Every structure is written in C-alpha cells, then in structure tokens.
Amino acid sequence: MNRISIVIPCFNEAQALDQLFDRLDQALAAVEGATFEIVCVNDGSRDNTLARLLECQQQRDELVVVDLSRNFGKESALSAGIAAATGDAVVPMDADLQDPPELLAQLVDLWRQGFEVVVARRADRSSDSWLKRVTAGAFYRAHNAMSDIQIPNNVGDFRLMDRAVVDVLNALPESRRFMKGLFAWVGFRTAAVDYVRESRVAGTSSFNGWRLWNLAVEGITGFSITPLRIWSYLGLAVAAVSLAWGTWILVRTLIFGHDIPGYASLFVAVTFLGGLQLIGIGIVGEYVGRAYIESKRRPPFVVRRVYRSPASTTD
C-alpha cells in the first residue's frame, strides 16, 4: 500500500483550515490503496493558525505540524514540509484551496502508471486578477527565454512527486530556493493534469506586487546568467555606437571646421551612460549578493518544533 504525503505551507490561514480539511477528507477517500500523511508547515503565522492546527491534530492521527521559528517565506516553508514528509510520493498544495484537492486521485493514478512527476496545469486562471495573469505570463516567457531550464507555463507548486524526486530536492544545497525552478531542474518523467484555478476560500494573499517582483528576480538570477551577458552585449553596442559617432565628428571637424560644443547633447550622453553603468552594477551586485548569501551556508529554514499525533506510526 502506498503512503502519500500532502505538504501544505500555512501563513495566517486559520480561517481556511476547516474547509481545507473537509475537502481533503473527501478527496483522500476517493484514492484507493493508499495511506496518507498531511504535513502542515506553520510559517510564522501571526494569527491562531498554529493553535487551530494543533486542535485539528487531536482528531487526525495523520496530521503532522511543522512549526518554523519565524516567517521564512513560502519557498522555505515548502522546503521544510518536503523535508519532513515521509511518503512514497509527496504532493505540495496551497491551504487556500486554489489548488483543488479533488485532483489527487488523477495525480496518484498517473504516478502509478510510471510517471515520477505529475504536475497540475492551470487551464483557466480567470479567478486571478488581470494584472496577475499578465505579469505571470510575462515572467514565464522571460525566464524560459533566458534560462536553459524551462518552467512549464501556468504550472505552480501543486504536483505529485515520487520519493526519488523528493530525495534529490532535499539533497540540493542552496539556501535561496525558487521551488518552481528546482522542480523543473530535477527533471524525471513528467505528466500533466489540467484544472480550473479556483478563488481563495478565505483571507487574502500575502504576496503583494513587491514580493512577486522579488520572487521573479530570484527565479531569473537563480537559473540564468543571461542578464550579465545581455549587459555585456549592450556595453559593446554602446561602445561601438560611441566610436562610430566619435569618428564621424572627427571627420566632419577636419572637413568643415570646428563646431560649437553641444552642452545639451553632452549632458544627455553622460547621464545616459551613467545610468547604464549603474544598472549594470546593480545586475552584477544581484549575482554577487546571491553568491555572498549562499557562501554563508545558512539553512533555508529553522524548525522550532514538529508536532506529531501520539498515535502516529511515524513518530
């Protein structure tokens, strides 16, 4: 009999937990020949998420609660849950039920057919705002254009992964983790199941525009050095144009005489090139910063405590 772990990062999700477990119960009952472990990671929630999880654990022997020492962010919380999972297969999903648990039976069925990874692909994202759909599409296109690692479009963290895949993910040494990129990097035989993305059942997303932007920068700089190359090519192009323009000024001056200096054009040229240099330094600094942070070898998360049911066989 297969053992399947459901990993759910939680940050201020107390209001959604009752509906989450009700839907999970129905979805898990539809999967035959399997036992389940539900690993909920409390990512430094400021509401009563931890207390509600511990209350739920009193009635659920399969529930494991991983309490992090502070808020480390979703990527780290997801890593903590995957590290704590003990199943033959692991399924990360969101607590807000935008990832429908009813899809579990299809994911497990394809896994049993021999696929090591079964991704859930969003066929309809109308529940997301127009801006989020546009920016998400732009990110996927930009990332895949610059990186050799192709992230499937409209595929999030919701997927099933075989134990072999999970072991590889847990062995990766980096502390700055962009999980969608790592999921794509490890490879393995992959199948996809389409679904319609639902609206949140409670609360609001903790990902604002600034955090999404930082996540996008993390994804691109973590899996591609193309931004550095682009700036090298841009510098070469600017230098070539500047050399050609200087040559033209020299020839024109020798033939037609000395022109009155153009202070406006000089000011524009200096500020434009200065701006390019600062942007280039910023891009280099982004990569240097990543190398500096990784060199410290700090773990991506710190577990304060793991709560398991006394009746759990995995204690």
Extents of the domains making up the chain: 2-223+299-308, 226-295
Report the predicted TM-score, pTM, of the whole model to 2 decimal places: 0.71
Mean pLDDT, residues 17-40 taken together: 86
**Structure confidence by residue, pLDDT tens digits, 190-215:** 888 888 777 655 555 555 555 666 66
158 dihedral zone (left: phi>0; alpha: psi -120 to 50; beta):
beta
Among candidates 161, 162, 140, which has minimal Cα distance to 152? 140
Q: Given CA atoms 100, 97, 22, 301 in this order, what sign does their dihedral have?
A: positive
Q: Which CATH number fits domain 2-223+299-308: 1.10.630.10, 3.40.50.1100, 3.30.300.30, 3.90.550.10?
A: 3.90.550.10
How far apart, in Å, do the first and last CA atoms of the chain sit? Answer: 19
Q: What integer pLDDT is reported at residue 257 of this predicted model?
A: 64
Q: What are 272-297's pLDDT values in tens digits?
A: 777 777 777 777 777 777 777 777 78
Looking only at the bridges linking them, the beta strands covering 89-92 and 117-124 are: unpaired
Q: Which amino acid is at 222?
A: G
- Cβ-based neighbour number of residue 263 at 10 Å: 8
Confidence band for 41, pLDDT divided at 50, 70 and 90: very high
Among residues 99, 128, 95, 88, which one has the least CA distance to residue 13?
A: 95
